[in-house]
């Protein structure tokens, strides 16, 4: 148990294995987002790198298959990890998620592979 809510990066496949198919990328993002509720229910704050990088790309007039994407997706996750307390690595091949795990380990952050392994927060009752 922990008394502090953790900021937990959910990492897994987004573009990997999609061949640039927007429906496949949307399905991958939905899988990442499906892990958000269990992390939140454990008392923590989930975050997904694409929640940051996709609006950045859109504001630059680009998308996830644009050449600019590699200059935004990976750096955004790296910058985000500077603020995170842990990583939840979901299954599936993903160079970006593997890079997130390596960065987290270099920074001494815990890496979880199952939501059940994330310590639950000791929730305080509020009036």
Q: pLDDT tens-digit profile of 26-37?
A: 999 999 999 999
Tens of pLDDT along 12-58?
A: 999 999 999 999 999 999 999 999 999 999 999 999 999 999 999 99
Tens of pLDDT along 64-118?
A: 999 999 999 999 999 999 999 999 999 999 999 999 999 999 999 999 999 999 9
CA angle 67, 62, 53 (to 5 degrees): 90
Question: Could you tell me if 39 and 116 are in contact, meaning their C-beta atoms sit under 8 angstroms apart?
Answer: no
Question: Could you tell me the pTM of the whole model?
Answer: 0.92
Question: Could you tell me if 87 and 109 are in contact, meaning their C-beta atoms sit under 8 angstroms apart?
Answer: yes
Q: Is the pLDDT of residue 124 over 70?
A: no
pLDDT tier at 122, thresholds 50, 70, 90: confident
Q: Is the pLDDT of residue 120 over 80?
A: yes
pLDDT at 125: 46
List domains and CATH numbers for the chain: 8-112 (3.40.50.10400)
**Computed over its alpha carbons, how large is the radius of gyration of the chain?**
15
pLDDT at 3: 84
- Residue 37: CB atoms within 10 A of its CB come to 11
Question: Could you tell me if 101 and 89 are in contact, meaning their C-beta atoms sit under 8 angstroms apart?
Answer: yes
Q: For 86, which DSSP code?
A: E
């Amino acid at each position: 148990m922990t008394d502090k809510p953790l900021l937990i990066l959910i990492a897994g496949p987004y573009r990997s294995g999609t061949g640039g198919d927007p429906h496949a990328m949307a399905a991958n993002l939905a899988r990442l987002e499906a892990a958000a509720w269990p992390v939140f229910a454990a008392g923590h704050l989930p975050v997904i790198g694409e929640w940051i990088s996709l609006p950045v790309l859109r504001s630059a007039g680009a998308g996830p298959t644009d050449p600019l994407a590699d200059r935004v997706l990976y750096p955004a996750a790296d910058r985000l990890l500077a603020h995170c307390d842990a990583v939840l690595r979901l299954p599936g091949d993903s160079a970006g998620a593997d890079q997130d795990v390596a960065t987290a380990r270099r920074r001494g952050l815990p890496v979880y592979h199952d939501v059940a392994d994330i310590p639950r927060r000791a929730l305080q009752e509020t009036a």
